[in-house]
Amino acid sequence: MNNNCEFHIGVDIGSTTVKVVVLDDNKQIRFKRYQRHHSRSRETAAEMLREALDAIGSDAPVTVAFSGSAALKAAAAAGLPFVQEVFATRVAVRERVGEADVVVELGGEDAKILFLTNGAEERMNGSCAGGTGAFIDQMASLLSLSLPELDKLSFEHKHIYHIASRCGVFAKSDIQPLLNQGAVKSDIAASIYQSIVSQTIAGLAQGREIKGRVCFLGGPLTFLKGLRERFVKTMELDGAHAVFPEDAEYYVAIGAALRGGEGEKMLPGEILDRLLNAQKQDDASDALPPLFESKEAYEAFRLRHGKNAVPRADLASYAGDAWVGIDAGSTTTKLVLIDGEGRLLFRYYASNHGDPLSVVRAQLIAIREQCGARVRIRGAAVTGYGEELIKNAFRCDEGIVETTAHYYAAKAFNPDVDFIIDIGGQDMKCFKLRRGVVDSIMLNEACSSGCGSFIEAFASALGHSPAEFARLGLFAKKPVNLGSRCTVFMNSSVKQAQNDGAGVDDISAGLSVSVVKNAVYKVIRARKAAELGENIVVQGGTFLNDAILRAFEMEIGRDVTRPEIAGLMGAYGAALYSRERGGSESSLMALAELRDFSCSARSTRCGLCLNRCRLTINTFSGGRRFVSGNRCEKPLGGRDSDIPDAYEFKKELLMAFRPRENAPLGKIGLPMGLGLYELLPFWHTLLTEIGFEVAHSGLSTRDLYLQGQHTIPSDTVCYPAKLAHGHIERLLAEGVTTIFNPCLPYNFDQGMGDNHYNCPVVAFYPELLLANIPRLKEKNVRYLAPYMAPHATKSFPGLAAKYFRQTFGVKPGVTRAAVKKAYKAYEDYQEAVYAFGDRALAWAGEHNAQSIILAGRPYHIDPEINHGIHKLLTQLGLVTLSEDCLRPRGYSNVSVLNQWTYHSRLYAAAKYVTEHERVQLVQLISFGCGLDAITSDEVKEILERGERIYTLIKIDEISNLGAAKIRLRSLIEATK
Amino acid sequence: MAELIYDETGRLLFTEEMRREYTILVPMMLPIHMTFLTRVLAQNGFQVELLSSVNREIVDLGLESVHNDTCYPALLVIGQMMEALQSGRYDLDKVALIITQTGGGCRASNYIHLLRKALKKRGLAHIPVISFNLAGMEKNPGFRFPVKVYVELLGIIVYADLIMNLSNQTRPYELHPGQTDALVEAWTRRLLDMHLSLRRLKRSLAQITADFAAIPMNREAQKVTVGVVGEIYIKYAALGNNNLERLLADEGCEVVVPGLLDFIIFMGDHHVVDTKRYRIKFKKGLVSLLIKVVFSFFQRRLIGAVRTQPVFRAPADFGTIKRLAGGYVSDGNKMGEGWLLTGEMLELIHAGIGNIICTQPFGCLPNHIVGKGMIRAIREDHKDANIVAIDYDPGATRTNQENRIKLMLTIAREKLQNQ
């Protein structure tokens, strides 16, 4: 290179890669390099710096500056200049792109939006916005595709599925069922991209519109053309307004070089010295005790667990009866064939590569071929996520819920088993057994999935195979303490550990410990080992990892049983179950049929009701069809049953409130969100009676959510609150110019608790909507969010009269009369709901049916919030009640402060259940609901004191009901 | 162990006997205030210990003791207590716990119940828990004071607020490092000797202010000034916010933290407001009005004292903050920090401190609305406002938080340069 000018070096150490650029005096790029660092960030940076300095080819002083999330500590330790990365981006954009209004940058794990004009603002993803680049990597490996393949496929999509946009784990639990149901990969690829776009808009822009000239930066947006397309299309940008500059992945490094250019010059040698000699600080991350102190200890451990083997028999020579068990898991498929003594004739365990059908088909062919005429297959049972699809495709005899399958298998190893924990690819199931029935189930809720596939993803990100990665951890001297929070957050914990100089072995061991801690404290929520049980059986592929098994034993301080076939337990249990059923001949496809088998999948939307379920229709060879994704029998040609369903009943009751036409005061809008779900009868009547045409915004839909999502300021608030934004948009779209949305700190007092508050979100969200939806002001909408207290029946009529006189000139007498009617309407509504409850319970008695109280909040009746869970119940033949259709039964004394109206009902419902044998309770919780952290523990305690099973279902914007189904089916099994 | 006596609701009482024999553990929040508190209690015959431990075990024990999605402050406070109980430092038959109780529709009113649940689960239900509050909730026979002690407790808030405010203004500029902290300690002792007398309040406040003003300072180099607002525990407690004040000090910033007085007046005020707005009576009505009137008086005295030294920036009074918030949220918004949080951000901006860190526990319900929910509207009216919202929880890493704070500081420095 030319020696006559000065050089400025910028180094960007990101979460997964290092970028180095050298600029000359004219700000031209003279050298650039991009490389993954596999957690050796400092060493990689130093090597690349040396290359850059070699390329410059002189010893003249240069400037250098570091940037990027992983450079913070390195630069500080080395005493080298650091430029905050968003700031660096801004500097680079100003220099190279010029006028741009917004910058969207996606990196390995960071996402940023910079608003450059009209009040500069810079936003980065917060603690709950998972991966971007790393997320695409994860998704690609889930689909067994390379990034270019994924990108290419995305252009062939026909449909976009909704995939949760918040973080990788959510998306995974959306994608997996799609895969298992046979959805097309090209559609999924495009849907993954779309989820990133939504994430960027909802999570980052937070109420600020992305408009003007938008500049796209970062690796993923440089390499992935399909992703670009989704951004451009969604943001409705034309060519002039979407800028994809050259060297986009280097912008942070360029910015650092530019900014650093203003600083002091240093000798190249000195820069390298400082970087390499900088003391590694390992203060922040405290170490855990090693998993094994010595090789001997490990050997003893191996020996102890080696005892739990299953006898084998040779299929090639075996003649007689046999049973097939299939576990179509989320990421892996397991098959076994057993004989009458439970001996293993055949076993299979492998990743399903996103295509469980063909994996199962190939193995069934192998089994049938080896069996020949010697072996008679008397039964085939299937369990797991893909249960229904596999069962229908290959005509298996039984489909059983996973908990049952695992119990059958565990019993074979330890007849006294009282606790089973199964950690699979992406789900974790734990259950207690009491007197031979499943007593309580703990599944990882949507936010803490991860588990096995999570470790795999980390292993490959750090450049190791999963097995090798696990082995490294066994003898790590100082495992890193990564905490026990949801595994998504682990990305940044690992990043921090790397910053602090932890080695791969320490990270591997640390991850094992954290997976275990997550299971013990987050999923099981155990306080003491004794709580788990005396006879613990651990299973699932993840426990084949000795590091995790060891970490688990250390954490609970007790030896456990790990069957040699830990990964096959679901399939083994299914086969044992099938054997117990004692059928004489399996209906499983014969060899010729299996060979001819083919399947095509197509997706469509069901138009038969408001839920508009996304259906996947699999057509098998011979024209048989299997529909999945439905929540009721309608698309299958069935009709709604006559089983009582309080959710359906309440919904219809509320939707019957229609506007009065030709109202003297004109139209007023009521957004159907949060508190209004219960108080609609009250406010609707009041406003109608004083002379308004009351237009409420109706039930929520996915589209409604999307219309409002760009104005949501806090991405961790509950989904029901987020939907409120869409309801305002819908009212605006309908041309409503006056909106009434009162703030109610207090709800009606039903005398059931110490107080009768609303939760802070229900109480005050109306104010937030005004502050965050710019269109309300732009359109000069009269948005009224008065603070009111209708529970104070003495003072409210007068105060309301005053308010409506001042606001609309309504005569006080009119309002007073209207208030009277409103109270009556509310009472009538409640009475109707109570009466329904009475009827439903009577019906259950007459038909000898089980009833379930689906205990949540009034707003949980919205189909977009409950995702049709109540229909799942009626489908299973259960009478569905809600927490508010039980008549109030007076004050209930609980061990927490019972001070919220809605929540008091939960405690009362739990008490009711403990007194009624044929009624069960399932608690419905919205993700992000802080109050339910308190109520769920308490409800559980009440139920368990009454020897009843507590079942919890967490819901969010995800409409995948897989986990909910497992819980509900297990509950039914257990209460049979 | 003392005899265990329960009240009619089954609550374990802190008895006279316990007062003589037990050590009361106090969780740390505001160092200056809490030091005063423990020493006052000690002067009155209690054995008190302030829990200042900061380690990872606290978080782990918190996770084990309460539901993971419980607010982070509850998790930390309870974790800190469990850590202490487990440490072997105390005789578990002769120890009691104390925790504040606020009341209101926020989850925070449940802390004390969660603490009791946690004790029960660990088989420690025999350890009494004292509710510390101004509203007369949960009385205990062994935790009663003569009137003069109540006066001292009032004095703590006024004096500690003043000392915190002034020391924050002198520490970044002091010529001789350590001088500010030495003065804080000196005045703490002196005030305790005076039993935090409020008799010559005006004079004492002025004296303290003058002493701090006398610290030799270098005011030449302009420093970035950063306001810290948010959920009350996370805002104040180093354990909660990963030692945010230290981080900012290391970055060469001056930190402005609103005092406790505002929050206390706020607690009284919202009852008064609700009584008027909804025309309903509250049991605590009169007490609330009294709290509001008395503390507002103290606050005026405090502000008056700070104003005597032009070198210091005086905080705005409660009424001003309330007026500022009024354009954004109603004063009926009362759960958690309620409208006060919005008001504090606005007050800082109006005082020329446009760089603000809004701290909150991950998923804090009121802060969805009055914190994060109002930032957009505030920015719209104050284009220069440089506000960053930081979430704190057991999983959030320091790197992520620091990175976001650094971004805010970079913009702040740029602004400072362009001035």
pLDDT tens digit sequence for A238-267: 878 888 988 888 988 999 999 887 778 888
A767·B379 Cβ contact <8 A: no
Is the four-CA dihedral A882, A884, A885, A886 of positive or negative sign?
A: positive
Residues ≥6 apart with Cβ < 8 Å to B253: B172, B223, B224, B225, B226, B409
- A320 torsion bin: left (phi>0), alpha (psi -120 to 50), beta (else): left
Any idea which of A556-565, A650-659, A756-765 has the lowest mean pLDDT? A556-565
> Which tens digits make up the pLDDT trace of A434-491?
777 777 777 765 444 446 667 777 787 778 888 888 888 888 888 888 765 555 556 6
Q: What is the mean pLDDT of residues A509-530?
A: 75
Range 386-445 of A in CB contact (< 8 A) with B:
none
Token duo for residue A903: 């929540």
Range 169-208 of A in CB contact (< 8 A) with B:
206-208
Distance CA(A666)–CA(A692), nearest Å, equals: 5
> Which chain A residues are within 8 Å of B373, Cβ to Cβ?
713-714, 767-768, 771-772
Of A58 and A687, the structure prediction assigns the larger pLDDT to: A687
Q: Distance, in angstroms, between B142 CA and closest chain A CA?
A: 23
3-state secondary structure of B99: strand
* pLDDT at residue A499 in the model: 66
B335·A764 Cβ contact <8 A: yes
> Which chain B residues are within 8 Å of A83, Cβ to Cβ?
410
B70 at A interface, C-beta within 8 A: yes
Beta carbons of A723 and A705 less than 8 angstroms apart: yes
Question: Where residue A696 falls among pLDDT bands split at 50, 70, 90?
Answer: very high
B69·A206 Cβ contact <8 A: no
Q: Is the pLDDT of residue A79 over 60?
A: yes
> Which chain B residues are within 8 Å of A768, Cβ to Cβ?
368-369, 373-374
> Which chain A residues are within 8 Å of B394, Cβ to Cβ?
483-485
Token duo for residue A636: 């299958």
* pLDDT at residue A725 in the model: 95
B391·A716 Cβ contact <8 A: yes
What one-character DSSP code corresponds to residue A395?
T
CA angle, residues A30, A99, A195, in degrees to nearest 5: 90
* pLDDT at residue A632 in the model: 66
Beta carbons of A137 and A182 less than 8 angstroms apart: no
Any idea which of A501-510, A515-524, B105-114 has the lowest mean pLDDT? A515-524
Largest interatomic CA distance in chain B: 68
Query: Which ranges of B66-224 would DSSP assign to H, the alpha helix?
Result: 72-86, 111-121, 147-170, 179-193, 201-213
What domains are there in chain B, each with its CATH number?
A: 16-144 (3.40.50), 222-259+324-419 (3.40.50)
CB contacts < 8 A (A, B) = 211
Interface probe with A: pick from B270, B368, B379, most Cβ of A within 10 Å: B368
Token duo for residue A469: 């990665």
> Which chain A residues are within 8 Å of B377, Cβ to Cβ?
771-772
Q: Distance, in angstroms, between B68 CA and closest chain A CA?
A: 7
Q: What is the mean pLDDT of residues B203-223?
A: 93
Query: What count of other Cβ atoms lies within 10 Å of the Cβ of residue A805?
Result: 14
Strand order in the sheet with A625-628: A599-605, A614-620, A625-628
Cα separations (Å) of A677 from A643, A660, A696, A697, A740? 23, 19, 11, 11, 14
Q: Distance, in angstroms, between A709 CA and closest chain B CA?
A: 14
Q: What is the mean pLDDT of residues A85-114?
A: 83
Range 371-400 of B in CB contact (< 8 A) with A:
372-377, 379, 383, 389, 391, 393-400
> Which chain A residues are within 8 Å of B383, Cβ to Cβ?
119
Q: Distance, in angstroms, between A787 CA and closest chain B CA?
A: 7
Beta carbons of B86 and B119 less than 8 angstroms apart: no
Long-range Cβ pairs for the range B158-161 (8 Å, 24+) = B158/B198, B158/B201, B158/B205, B158/B261, B158/B298, B158/B301, B158/B302, B159/B36, B159/B187, B159/B191, B159/B196, B159/B204, B159/B205, B159/B208, B160/B30, B160/B32, B160/B33, B160/B36, B160/B260, B161/B33, B161/B259, B161/B260, B161/B261, B161/B302
* pLDDT at residue A937 in the model: 87
- β-pair partners for A678: none
Interface confidence (ipTM) of the complex: 0.92
Q: DSSP 3-state helix, strand, coil percentages of chain B (rounded to 5)?
A: 55, 10, 35
B150 at A interface, C-beta within 8 A: no
Cβ-nearest to B410 among A87, A760, A767: A87
Distance CA(A782)–CA(B281), nearest Å, equals: 32
Query: Which ranges of A475-589 would DSSP assign to H, the alpha helix?
Result: 490-499, 504-517, 529-532, 546-556, 569-581
Give CA torsion, residues A357, A360, A362, A368, to 10 deg. Answer: -130
- B5 burial level (CB within 10 Å; 0-12, 13-18, 19+): middle
Query: Which residue of chain A is at minimal alpha-carbon distance from B369?
Result: A768
A124 at B interface, C-beta within 8 A: yes
B171 at A interface, C-beta within 8 A: no
> Which tens digits make up the pLDDT trace of A206-233?
667 788 889 998 888 888 899 999 989 8
Write out the DSSP string of A750-774: -SSSS--BPPHHHHHHHHHHHHH-H
Interface probe with B: pick from A524, A748, A764, A929, most Cβ of B within 10 Å: A764
Token duo for residue A104: 């969207």
- Return mean pLDDT, chain A: 84
Cβ-nearest to B399 among A496, A746, A760: A496
**DSSP H or E run through A466:** helix A466-474
**DSSP H or E run through A880:** strand A879-882
Range 934-963 of A in CB contact (< 8 A) with B:
934, 936-937
Distance CA(A943)–CA(A853), nearest Å, equals: 13
Distance CA(A937)–CA(A287), nearest Å, equals: 32
Q: Is the pLDDT of residue B214 over 60?
A: yes
Write out the DSSP string of B344-382: HHHHHHHTT--EEEEEEETT-HHHHHHTHHHHHHHHHH-
Q: What is the mean pLDDT of residues A310-333?
A: 88
Q: Which of A740, A828, A745, A749 is nearest to A794 (CA)?
A: A749
What one-character DSSP code corresponds to residue A700?
-
Query: Which ranges of B279-331 would DSSP assign to H, the alpha helix?
Result: 285-307, 318-326
A128·B109 Cβ contact <8 A: no
Beta carbons of B187 and B208 less than 8 angstroms apart: yes
B376·A208 Cβ contact <8 A: yes
**DSSP H or E run through A217:** strand A214-217
Q: Which of B192, B250, B391, B129 is nearest to A715 (CA)?
A: B391
3-state secondary structure of A921: strand
Query: What count of other Cβ atoms lies within 10 Å of the Cβ of residue A217?
Result: 27
Give CA torsion, residues B36, B37, B40, B44, to 10 deg. Answer: -170
Q: At what angle do helices B398-418 and A490-499 cross, to 10 degrees?
A: 70
Cβ-nearest to B407 among A122, A208, A489: A122
B110·A934 Cβ contact <8 A: yes
A714 at B interface, C-beta within 8 A: yes
B402 at A interface, C-beta within 8 A: yes
B277 at A interface, C-beta within 8 A: yes
* pLDDT at residue A338 in the model: 93
B373·A713 Cβ contact <8 A: yes
What one-character DSSP code corresponds to residue A248?
G
Q: Which of B231, B150, B230 is nearest to B198 (CA)?
A: B150
A289 at B interface, C-beta within 8 A: no
B411·A496 Cβ contact <8 A: no
A286 at B interface, C-beta within 8 A: yes
Question: Where residue A283 falls among pLDDT bands split at 50, 70, 90?
Answer: very low
3-state secondary structure of A628: strand
A486 at B interface, C-beta within 8 A: yes
* pLDDT at residue A489 in the model: 55
A760·B65 Cβ contact <8 A: no
Write out the DSSP string of A766-814: HHHHHHH-HHHHHTT-EEE--B--TT-TTTHHHHHHHHHHHHH---HHH
Q: What is the mean pLDDT of residues A14-27?
A: 86
Q: How far apart are the first and last CA of chain A?
A: 81
* pLDDT at residue B315 in the model: 95
Question: Where residue A167 falls among pLDDT bands split at 50, 70, 90?
Answer: low
Query: Which residue of chain A is at minimal alpha-carbon distance from B385?
Result: A119
Cβ-nearest to B368 among A481, A714, A931: A714
A803 at B interface, C-beta within 8 A: no
Q: What is the mean pLDDT of residues B57-83?
A: 87
Query: Which residue of chain B is at minimal alpha-carbon distance from A285?
Result: B56
> Which tens digits make up the pLDDT trace of A913-941?
999 989 999 999 888 888 888 898 899 89
Q: Which of A284, A525, A967, A774 is nearest to B56 (CA)?
A: A284
A760·B67 Cβ contact <8 A: no
Query: Which residue of chain B is at minimal alpha-carbon distance from A83?
Result: B410
Distance CA(A869)–CA(A816), nearest Å, equals: 41
Distance CA(B26)–CA(B12), nearest Å, equals: 18
Token duo for residue A947: 């020897």
B68·A495 Cβ contact <8 A: no
> Which tens digits make up the pLDDT trace of A577-589?
999 988 888 888 8
Q: Is the pLDDT of residue B107 over 60?
A: yes
A787 at B interface, C-beta within 8 A: yes
- Return mean pLDDT, chain B: 90
* pLDDT at residue A372 in the model: 84
Q: Distance, in angstroms, between B79 CA and closest chain A CA?
A: 13
- β-pair partners for A217: A105
Q: What is the mean pLDDT of residues A829-856?
A: 94
> Which tens digits make up the pLDDT trace of A413-424?
988 999 999 887
A895·B116 Cβ contact <8 A: yes
Q: Which of A41, A98, A957 is nearest to A497 (CA)?
A: A41
Distance CA(B32)–CA(B23), nearest Å, equals: 21
C-alpha A95: how far from chain center: 40
CA angle, residues A549, A551, A554, in degrees to nearest 5: 110
> Which chain A residues are within 8 Å of B64, Cβ to Cβ?
521, 527
Question: Where residue A700 falls among pLDDT bands split at 50, 70, 90?
Answer: very high
Q: Distance, in angstroms, between A525 CA and closest chain B CA?
A: 7
Residues ≥6 apart with Cβ < 8 Å to A819: A686, A796, A797, A800, A801
Q: Is the pLDDT of residue A130 over 80?
A: no
Q: Is the pLDDT of residue B294 over 80?
A: yes
Q: What is the mean pLDDT of residues B108-121?
A: 89
